[in-house]
Amino acid sequence: MKLNYLITGGAGFIGSNYVHRLLSRGEQVTIYDNLARAGSKRNLEWLKKSFGEETFRVVVGDVRDAARIAESALSADVIVHLAGQVAVTTSVINPRDDFESNALGTFNVVEAARLSGRNPILIYASTNKVYGGMEDVALLEEKTRWRYKDLINGCPETQPLDFHSPYGVSKGSGDQYVRDYARIYGLRTVVYRQSCIYGTRQFGVEDQGWVAWFIIAAITGKPITVYGDGKQVRDILFVDDLLNAYDLAVEKIDIAKGQVYNLGGGPENVMSIWAEFAPKLQALLGEIIEVARGDWRPGDQRVFYADIRKAENELGWKPNVNVDEGIAKLFKWVKENRELF
C-alpha cells in the first residue's frame, strides 16, 4: 500500500534526497518548506526535472504557522519533520528565531499530527547536540584526534541530556515534545538523534554541513577557516544510510514508536574535522589546501560519536557507506556540479 508522506523541510538537503527516494517508488509526497535555506530552490528544481511538477505537492509555508502546517497534515500517513534552524552559531546570534523555528515549530508539527485524527507516524530529526558538551565524560588527546576514554562504543541514548547552546535547547525541546506525545497521546513518534549527516545535494556553508563545506570550498577555491585545534572528532553518516533508517522506522513502527535512537556513523566511521580530513581531501584534490585558524566556537564538542547499537538491535539498521567511500561520492558530485556553487 502506498503511503501519503508529509516532509517538512522537504526541499532541503536530507528532505530532497528522501523525497527523491519516495517518488522513485511511487509514494504520495507533500513538501512543506519555506524555501529560505540555501540550495532549497535548486533542490526543488531537481525534483521537478526528475519526476515532473505534477507528481508531488509543494506547500510554501513555515512551521511557525500552526494553522498552515495543521492543514497540510490532515491527509498524512507519515510525517518526517526536518524543517528548522540548523546551526549552533546562528542560534547564538539570533536565539529568538532559533526558538521559534525549532521549539515552537516542532510543537506545531506534533500538534498538527495529534489534531489530524489519523495517528500518523511522526519521525523527528533531532541532534546529538542534545547531549551538550558531555563535560562529565573523560577524553584522551591523540596525535590527530580526541576520543572518549571509556565510551568505547560511543555516546548512548542514556547519556544525560544537557542542552548547551540555544540550538541544543530548541532542538532538545522538540525532541522531548515528540517523545512525550507518544506517552501522553499515544502518537506513533520516533526521535532520531542524528550525528553529522553528509552527502549529495548538500549545499554546506561554514556554519553548518562542515564535510560538504570543506569539499565545496576546496573545489571552488573559497577560503577555509578551521576553528579549534582541528582534532575535534565526529562520526559521519552518509545520507543514504540515514534514509534507510527513516524507512525502517515506518516499516517497524510497532517496535520504534515512542523510542529514541542515536543515528550516526558510529565508532567505525569517525574522523577528526581537519587533522584527518585534510589528507583525504588533499589526495582527492591533488594539491595542498591552505587554511586560516580561528578560536573554538561556542558549543563545539571536542568529541562526539554515537553508540548506534540500539538502532542496530531493534531495527536491524547499520551504516553501509564508510568514510572514504562517502567522501569520494560527495567530492565527485560537487566536482560534477560545480556550476551549482
Mean pLDDT, the chain, rounded, equals 95
Element (H, E) at 188: strand 188-194
Q: What is the pLDDT of residue 281?
A: 96
Task: pLDDT band for 298, please (50, 70, 90 cuts).
Answer: confident
Percent of the chain surpassing pLDDT 90: 89
Separation between Cα atoms, residue 12 and residue 18, nearest integer Å: 10
DSSP 8-21: ETTTSHHHHHHHHH
Range of the domain at 302: 4-340
- Of 211, 197, 199, 270, residue with least CA distance to 235: 270
What was the pLDDT predicted at 7?
Answer: 98
Lowest mean pLDDT among 128-137, 156-165, 296-305: 296-305
| Three-state secondary structure call for residue 124 | strand
Annotate 39-81 with DSSP letters as a single string.
Answer: THHHHHHHHHHHH-GGGSEEEE--TT-HHHHHHHTTT-SEEEE
- Catalytic pick among 18, 167, 192, 246: 167
Strands 139-141 and 146-148: antiparallel
Confidence of residue 22 (pLDDT cuts 50, 70, 90): very high
* Whether pLDDT at 4 is above 80: yes
Q: What is the mean pLDDT of residues 290-318?
A: 92
Q: How many domains does the structure of the chain reveal?
A: 1
Q: Per-residue pLDDT averaged across 111-123, rounded?
A: 97
Q: What is the CATH number of the domain that holds 136?
A: 3.40.50.720
Q: Which three-class secondary structure state does DSSP give residue 136?
A: coil
Measure the CA dihedral 80/309/327/145, to 10°.
120
Q: Counting beta carbons within 10 angstroms of the beta carbon of residue 267, is it exposed (0 to 12), middle (13 to 18) or buried (19 or more)?
A: middle
Q: What pLDDT, on a 0 to 100 scale, did the predictor assign at position 1?
A: 82
198 carries an active-site annotation: no
pLDDT, position 165: 86
Closest CA to 197 of 243, 233, 158, 165: 243
Name the grid cell of 58. Answer: 509543494
pLDDT digits (tens, 9 = 90+) for 143-200: 999 999 999 999 999 999 998 889 999 999 999 999 999 999 999 999 999 999 999 9
How far apart are alpha carbons 133 and 304 in whole angstroms? 9
DSSP reduced 3-state for 32: strand
Prediction pTM value: 0.95
